[in-house]
Amino acid sequence: MNRLLIVGAGASLEECKQSGNYPNDPERYLPSIKNFCGKLFQRDSEILLQVTSSYLDKLGMKYDSKLINLKPGDSFSSDDMEKSPIGIFLKLESQSPEEHNIERLCEYVWVTFGASIQLWEAFIYAGIYLHLFTLFTRQFGLGIGVPMLAGRRVANQLTSSDVVLNLNYDIAFDLALKQSGKNICYAPDLRENAISILKPHGSFNFYVNLVNGNCYFEEPDRIHGSVSIPDPSGGFFSPHGGIVPPRLNKSYIHHPGAEIILDTCRPFLPKIVTFWGVGLTDSDVDLLSIYREAATSAEIIEFINPAMEAHQKAEKLLNREIAFFATLDQWLEKYGL
């Protein structure tokens, strides 16, 4: 392993700005943790109403229960939605995103409701997948997509001995690799002479049958939209079935698929570690252990992120000196590009 490239939400935001169909409209960008729920939550979802009302009850906060008690044929207004549990939670997110966000909500749901497959499938579909997929396709299209200008510049620096740890659900960088003519493969099914992609949190092109556990990665330019696909063995392959929700203190031991994907390339012993659009948090214990494992052997660690405080936090958590690049252009200049 020559380089370990770790791709986070900031990379997809950069792609929206450089390549998306709406580069000047931040409302159409893919979300960050701070505005995740505001951009993605389906406002009348029963499961989201259930979990946000429970979350608010825990805090002792008031809300209007009209949407929770709707009967067939009942109507509701935008004002009703703002006063609903979802509406109140979204207001909290917008006002205090460090305290109230998708990670904290998912942690609360995990502790309170457990690992119910039915609950989490409904939560993931209504709270993550549906609107994220819509935002992505409106920005970049389906198939091979629009030219991924930012991602292609990064992809051109990679060789077949490199590994990409992609923390995003979207496939912007996957498509950039394809557009750059790179041979790619998805862990755990690795191939020689190909860039290995690890997507432990799931992906638009990761199809999972929640009934029997069958799963596979489709080529990113050949996904079937947002529909499920019949599995000849029974049941259906779902494009959202493999998504691991963002939550504080998550452990991959609770997500065996993610653990298998990551174990494929362990130990992580790269010469270069490059973080692109990633913010390190000490609550993400499993990821942090991978970062530290890789940092131990790395001769060079690079951090592409406009926030100096994120860079300083990374240096503290990894206990290493890290080269800071506020922009992608600055990083590319290092390589004479």
111-161: pLDDT as tens digits: 999 989 999 999 999 999 999 999 999 999 999 999 999 999 999 999 998
Query: Residue 15: pLDDT above 90?
Result: yes
Compute the C-alpha angle 253/191/229, nearest 5°. Answer: 65
Domain ranges of the chain: 3-21+143-334, 28-140
Q: Identify the pLDDT of residue 285.
A: 80
Instruction: Report how far residue 220's alpha carbon sits from residue 85's, in angstroms, rounded to the nearest whole number.
Output: 36
Q: What percent of the chain has a predicted confidence (pLDDT) above 70?
A: 100
Q: Which amino acid is present at 315?
A: E
Cα 40 from chain centre: 12
* pLDDT value of position 90: 98
Question: Is residue 284 scored above 90 in pLDDT?
Answer: no
Indicate whether this model's pTM tops 0.85: yes
Question: If pLDDT is split at 50, 70 and 90, which confidence band does 56 have?
Answer: very high
CB-CB neighbours of 234 under 10 Å: 10
pLDDT at 94 over 90: yes
Among 207, 255, 200, which residue's Cα sits nearest to residue 235? 207
DSSP 3-state assignment of 318? helix
Residue 152 neighbours by CB distance under 10 Å: 21
How many residues in the chain? 337
Q: Where are the alpha helices (DSSP H) in 229-307?
A: 256-263, 285-297
Confidence check: pLDDT of 63 > 80 = yes
The encoded tokens of residue 22 equal 């709406």
Query: Quick check: 287 and 250 in contact, CB under 8 A?
Result: no
Q: Are 180 and 152 in contact (CB under 8 A)?
A: yes
Going by pLDDT thresholds of 50, 70 and 90, the confidence category of residue 248 is confident
Rg (CA), the chain: 20
